[in-house]
Amino acid sequence: MGRNIPYEENHRITKEGDIQKKCNKHHLHFPDEDPWMLCTEEFFYKTDKNKKDGLHPECKRCCSVRSYAWSLTNPEKHKVSERRGQLSLKKKEYDKKHHAEDRASGYYAKYSRRPEVKARKYHLNHRDHEITPQEWLSCKEYFKDAEGNQVCAYCGLKIQDHWIVVNGIVKNSDFHKEHKDDKGANDIRNCIPSCRSCNCNKWAFEFKEWYNKQSFFLEESYNKIIKWCTEDYKLYIEDKPLFKIYKKKNENDNKFHHEIWELDEMMNRIRCVIVAEKKIDLELTLQELILNT
């Protein structure tokens, strides 16, 4: 793609006020031609990777030459990519035709109004666990190994060995609050301490089906997870209020407002009770609601 050249060195403004861009490789392939061209889509392909002007650093002609040279040196891969391109075009044509028919018939509007679809959409938008810090600590302590180390309930990775990369920096991190049942509750009965790898690999798969296929599967760990989610969590669960204040962003501006939501027994949000701009305006109302329950 060529070396990373600063914007000022690769762009210039003409007397007419037009912005010109210099191709990173044009002077290497075509020394007899002027490498400066208008900074438009007519001469350069668009790309999301270039945050400066949104255009490819090489001109269209250089891209074509490089692509043709690659196809000659990699004939088998070129055939595969051509086949994929043809299938992609057919799929786009098919989707365009049938999506237009579905929109005209109102299929999408009817589908989105189905109760099971609305319930699933609500569930996916509220996936944060509603557990206290003490409950989370008790959950991790429950799954300790024989040496007394907090470990991932699935693979047994020790928490001191749980390293992740954040913004290019490697650091030790806490375990994830993993949903054993992806469609289950958001409280402690459905919370499992999991390392980042297991959390990503399990995703929305059913627990028994996914865990039995893993190389680190242990019958003892499987039984311990089942026992925690069915019986032992009751020993550590704490009483929580059935109302909670949430901070949300306004749709029309960048300001925020606060809402009191009613929660069910599994700490899932049921309905919004009162809305106010400031949290302090809702605190007294929240206290009254808690006392009346």
Chunked in runs of 10, what are the mean pLDDT values of the chain (293 residues)? 64 85 70 73 86 85 87 84 77 76 70 66 65 90 94 95 87 92 86 93 89 94 95 88 85 86 79 87 80 73
Per the document, the length of the chain is: 293
- What's the pLDDT score for residue 89? 77
DSSP-based three-state secondary structure for 122: helix
> For residue 40, what are its two tokens?
């438009």
- pLDDT for 1 equals 42
CB 58 within 8 A of CB 66: yes
Could you give the 3-state DSSP secondary structure of residue 12?
strand
The pLDDT assigned to 119 comes to 60
Strand order in the sheet with 19-22: 11-13, 19-22, 36-38
Q: Rounded to the nearest 5 degrees, what angle is found at the Cα of 240, between the Cα atoms of 179 and 281?
A: 110
Contacts of residue 38, Cβ cutoff 8 Å, sequence gap at least 6: 18, 19, 20, 21
The residue among 31, 37, 33 whose CA lies nearest residue 10 is 37
pLDDT at res. 180:
92
**What's the CA angle centered on 76, arms 75 and 80, to 5 degrees?**
115
